[in-house]
Structure 1
Amino acid sequence: NWIELSLSPSGSHLATSAWNDNTAFVFDVSTGEQIAALKHSTNVNGISYPPSGKFIATGCDDKKVYLWEAPAEDPQPKVATRNFTSGTITKQRKGTRRCHGKVYCVRYSPSGDRIASGADSVQIWNAETGSGILSIRNSSVYSVAWTADGTHVIGGREAEVTIWNSHSGEQLRTWKAHNDNWITLSLSPSGTHLATFNCTDTAFVFDVSTGEQITALKHSVDVYGIAYSPSGQFIATGCDDKKVYLWEAPAEDPPAKVSFVFVAFMHSLPNELTAYPVVRTTIFFIARCRYPNLCFPNYHS
């Protein structure tokens, strides 16, 4: 069971979802205590906090994105659904939106005013009103990332990466990143480089402006997670050998090389990685693991 994570902007709450579980949870980071359970009727595949921390978006097998009020102290959150087909908002809970297929991922824009969802297409919604802004029909999109200025959205498709203008839907460029399979993305903080993997033994780094491959991060086993550090100096990969590798991120010409200063041995297989700054001199990598009892036991089974 793969667990998706989204940390609240304050760093105090952690929202989690699992691909074969119809309930998402919110935990207190300092104690590991469950704060809220966000119950759905189908599996929850994606989860995301906005910069404001006021809401939580979830994407599900029922072709809908749900918007929830994020819990503050004690209260249980209320869910809202927004209908993606009509673009209307139904304030029964907090809102649902119907998409063009099973929703694989959801991401708030850097400013928090829009939500991008990846399904059989990329759809962008007004986070406040629930109205549809843009629908880009293409092929299934399994991972999305926003550029820092919010002007473009990047989609990881089957074997390809595509960049669209988030306002007009114009396709900026598409390039083949892997031979096949789903692609998962991590954009560098500067927005110039894009790291990708697709559950094979090699991850890649591309130049966003050209689609040119900059370097290949070769492993002896399959890669299940990738993340840039907040500084952009390092790339972490989580692998099938139960290890997390830290690589020097490529600058101009030099190839990336593995840093043996940071090779962490996991009790289980890390399927995805997210990097969070903890203090000014420390980078904290959270491994999204196949076995949830590494983090919070008994909630995602």
Structure 2
Amino acid sequence: MMKPWIVYSIFLFPCFVLAQTPKLVVPVGHTKSLNAVAFSPNGQYILTGSDDRKAKLWDLSGRELQVFSGHSDYITAVAFSPDGQRILTGSLDQTAKLWDLSGKLLHSFTGHYDAVNAVAFSSDGQQVLTGSSDQTAKLWDLSGKVLQTFAGHEDIIWSVAFSPDRQYVLTGSKDQTARLWDLSGGGITSIVGHKEEVVSVAFSPDGQRVLTGSLDKTAQLWDLTGKPLITFAGHKFGV
């Protein structure tokens, strides 16, 4: 099941040339719609994931550097490791996969029983987080061992994030809530206030606030207790 807010035309726009600036070259090469994109940490590479079941690595000139083939269904999510040396892909085939930049498959993360919609690396690159249509998120080490399963959402999980200090993980769900999970065993904070499904989540750089985006056309800023701080309203469609 695909994220409802994906814009399929993400790479179907013309190149623009601004006066005295380099020309932007847009990567072309997938045979079906794109669902996910990411910049490498050093800003020199782009990663794309597609309905054609492939992820591709590009340089900023638009040159295709590597193809990552192995998923048996649409790729829904992509991420770079913090050091930029590995990539992570999630798929409707119920798996996430870890690759090196040569295209070698390092590990398949199997354990979800529905689509993997979201993937993330911890800030030290030693753990992986996945969110699934099976209503759970899972924390893994790089060998594929499940360290923790986060169960409690009542519908599909669309988005996941690690806090910068790796103390918390954040999940956003079709059940209209986000949940903040304390990895030290301190419990769960439910973030309730949206009127439609929560499709995007993020931490502030200092890890002290969280941001959620929803199909209710708002984004909301919260503290770690789940207290709402600011509502950003004004979009005409889902955030």
**TM-score bucket of the superposed structures, by smaller chain:** 0.7 to 0.9
Cα deviation for residue 151 of structure 1 reads: 0.9
Aligned to 2:234: 266
Cα 1:27–1:219 shift into 2, 3 Å: farther
Deviation string, structure 1 residues 85-116 (Cα, Å, up to 9, x no partner): xxxxxxxxxxx433232111010001111001
Aligned residues of 1:239 and 1:269 also touching (Cα < 8 A):
no
* TM-score under structure 1 length normalisation: 0.68
Question: What is the 5 A alignment of 1:131-150?
Answer: 131-139=104-112, 140-150=115-125
Give the unaligned 5+ runs of structure 1: 4-17, 72-76, 83-95, 250-254, 272-301
CA distance in 1, matches of 2:14, 2:90: 23
Aligned residue runs from structure 1 range 91-106, under 5 A: 96-106=68-78
1:183 is paired with a residue whose SS is strand
CA 1:105–1:188 in 2, change beyond 3 Å: closer, same or farther?
same
CA change 1:34–1:177 in 2 (3 A) is farther
1:54-80 Cα distance to aligned partner (Å, 9 max, x none): 211111111111111123xxxxx1113
Paired position in structure 2 for 1:256: 226
Q: Contact (CA 8 Å) 1:59, 1:104: kept in 2 or not?
A: yes
What does residue range 152-231 of structure 1 map to in structure 2 within 5 Å?
Answer: 152-158=127-133, 159-166=135-142, 168-210=143-185, 213-222=187-196, 223-231=198-206
| Aligned partner (choices 64, 75, 78) of residue 63 of structure 2 | 78
Contact 1:65 1:99 in 2 (8 A): no
Structure 1 residue 24: Cα displacement: 6.1
Q: Aligned partners of 2:220 and 2:54: how far apart in 1?
A: 35
C-alpha contact 2:49 2:55 (8 A) present in aligned 1: yes
Distance 1:220 1:44, change over 3 A: closer
Q: Is the 8 A contact 2:159 2:199 kept in 1?
A: no
Alpha-carbon shift at residue 49 of structure 1 (Å): 1.1
The whole-number CA distance in structure 2 between the counterparts of 1:240 and 1:58 is 24
Q: CA deviation at 1:242?
A: 2.6
RMSD across aligned positions (CA): 2.6
Q: Aligned residues, how many?
A: 226
Residue 54 of structure 2 corresponds to 64
Please say if residues 182 and 198 of structure 1, whose CA atoms lie closer than 8 Å, have aligned partners that are also in contact: yes
CA distance in 2, matches of 1:48, 1:191: 21
Q: 1:108 aligns with which of 80, 97, 112?
A: 80
**Aligned match of 1:7:** none
